[in-house]
């Protein structure tokens, strides 16, 4: 009745991506960089305190990579 002990259900949603899956220098295309960046920005919004610094660092790396690739393609 109180909702205590209730679990959040993520039916129909993709699981959160693992931080170990992303190695920023290997992500090359602008669409791919933008996709991962959006994914990890969303994950940053929902992350726990103990993971926040790691996810924030990954978002910063992806943002920097996006700027580098844009400059290379200009």
Query: Which contiguous run of DSSP H or E holds residue 37?
Result: helix 30-46
| Average pLDDT rounded to a whole number, residues 50-74 | 88
Alpha helices in 1-74 (DSSP H): 30-46, 49-73
Query: For the whole prediction, is pTM greater than 0.75?
Result: no
With 60 as the cut, is the pLDDT of residue 9 above it?
no
Instruction: Output the pLDDT for position 67.
Output: 92
């Amino acid at each position: 009745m109180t909702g205590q002990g209730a679990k959040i259900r993520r039916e129909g949603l993709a699981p959160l991506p693992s931080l170990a899956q992303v190695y920023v220098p290997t992500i090359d295309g602008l669409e791919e960089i933008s996709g991962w960046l959006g994914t990890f920005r969303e994950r940053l919004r929902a992350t726990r305190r103990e993971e926040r610094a790691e996810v924030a660092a990954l978002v910063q790396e992806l943002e920097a990579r996006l700027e580098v690739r844009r400059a290379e393609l200009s």
